Structure formats: C-alpha cells, structure tokens
C-alpha cells in the first residue's frame, strides 16, 4: 500500500546492516556493494538481513585488494585533519583538499559498488564504475551531492550516521538503476531504428 515508505524502511535496515558490517573498515566497500545490491533487488522481491548476508559474503569473495581503498581514504582524511589541528603551515588548505579528495573518492567508490553484481570481480566492477562516472555525469553529480549531504548531516549529528548511510546507498542504487534503464531504452531505440531501416 505504501511502496515508497516500504523502500525507505528497507533502506534504513540496509544502512544499519552496512554500518555494522563496515565497523572493521576493511570490509566497508564490500558492505556498501552488498547494500546497493540488496536495495536494487528490493524492486522485485523482499530485502532483509538474510539477503544482505549472502550478498556480503559474495562481495567479500570478489577479491581483497580493492577492499583497502576505504581505509586509505579514511587515513587521508585523518592526516588532513591532523595537519590542521597541529597548526602546520598550509594545514588548512591541506585539510580542505583532503576533504574534497575523500568526497570524490567516496562518490567514485559508491558508483563502483553500485555497479557490482553477484559473481562479478572487483576489477570488472571498477571498470563498470569508471564507465558510469564518465558516461553518466548527471548521475555522478547526484551521487556527489548525496555524499556531501550525508557528510554534512553526520558532522552535525554523528548518531545519525547509520540511518543516513541507508539513504546514501539508496541514492547509489537508484542512480545505477536509472543508468541501466537509460542504456536499455537507447538500445531498444537503436534496435527499432535498425529494424525499420532494414524494412
């Protein structure tokens, strides 16, 4: 009866599960990929903790090297804020640059995680994410805005972070679904044009 409210509730649940899975930082990217996958699949079936656990296991098996990217981004942000706190020359500029770099990295990783599918390796997911970033600039801008809005909310009210995370995952999944549907529509249009041309 209330599909939008149901999707909102599912995004909150998935956000909490993702936050719990990402507490160790290293599996954060796999948790985000699993969360985006579950929210995408919620369009056609129920989403829940069991499905999230299955997708998380599959994402962790996709390959370990790329899972170190979130800790690297967190370290960059900590170095920036540490430099600003120490009062070093140019520390304020470095802190701003680090924050911008982390936002850009978070948005790029979110697009890559949203492109991941069960059975896909991280190399293929990274390639698909890069294609999405450059080929869907409008969607990439929306993802950046979602990350910035989440950062502002979490900075003001840190306790909201797990709940806000669900909305960020929903944004990543929605942008990916939108890109997929756009590709399908263009492919369908080319097919119609091609068949009309042959006739």
What are the CB-based long-range contacts (under 8 Å, 24+) for 122-131? 122/62, 122/63, 122/65, 122/66, 122/67, 123/63, 125/33, 125/62, 126/66
What does the alpha-carbon distance between residue 6 and residue 89 come to, in Å, rounded to a whole number?
51
- For the chain, the maximum distance between any two Cα atoms, rounded to a whole number of angstroms, is 73
Q: Which domain holds residue 164?
A: 3-198
Q: Give the pLDDT mean for 182-195.
A: 71
- Rg of the chain over Cα atoms, rounded to whole angstroms, equals 18
pLDDT in tens, 169-186: 999 999 999 998 888 888
pLDDT in tens, 100-141: 888 888 899 899 999 999 989 888 998 999 999 999 999 999
What does the alpha-carbon distance between residue 43 and residue 168 come to, in Å, rounded to a whole number?
17
Top-confidence residue, 69 or 164: 164
What does the alpha-carbon distance between residue 57 and residue 142 come to, in Å, rounded to a whole number?
29
Q: For position 1, what pLDDT does the model report?
A: 38
Contact 38, 54 (CB under 8 A): no
Top mean-pLDDT range of 64-73, 84-93, 153-162: 153-162
Total Cβ atoms within 10 A of residue 176: 26
Whole-model pTM over 0.75? yes
Residue the block writes with tokens 């492109």: 115
Q: For position 190, what pLDDT does the model report?
A: 67
Residue the block writes with tokens 């993802």: 143
Residue 24 has pLDDT above 80, yes or no: no
User: For the chain, how many structural domains are there in total?
Assistant: 1
């Amino acid at each position: 009866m209330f599909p939008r409210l149901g999707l909102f509730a599912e995004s909150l649940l998935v956000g909490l599960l993702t936050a719990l899975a990402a507490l160790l930082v290293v599996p954060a990217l796999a948790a985000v990929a699993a969360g985006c996958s579950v929210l995408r699949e919620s369009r056609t079936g129920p989403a829940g903790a069991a499905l999230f656990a299955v997708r998380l296991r599959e994402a962790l098996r996709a390959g370990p090297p790329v899972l170190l990217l979130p800790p690297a981004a967190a370290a960059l942000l900590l170095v920036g804020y540490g430099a600003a706190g120490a009062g070093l020359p140019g520390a304020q500029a470095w802190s701003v640059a680090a924050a911008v770099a982390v936002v850009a990295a978070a948005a790029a990783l979110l697009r890559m995680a949203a492109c991941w599918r069960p059975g896909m390796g991280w190399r293929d997911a990274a390639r698909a994410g890069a294609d999405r970033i450059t080929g869907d600039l409008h969607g990439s801008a929306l993802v950046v805005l979602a990350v910035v809005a989440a950062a502002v909310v979490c900075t003001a009210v840190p306790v909201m972070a797990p709940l806000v995370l669900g909305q960020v995952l929903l944004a990543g999944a929605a942008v990916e679904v939108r890109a997929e549907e756009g590709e399908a529509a263009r492919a369908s249009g080319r097919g119609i044009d091609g068949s009309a041309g042959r006739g």
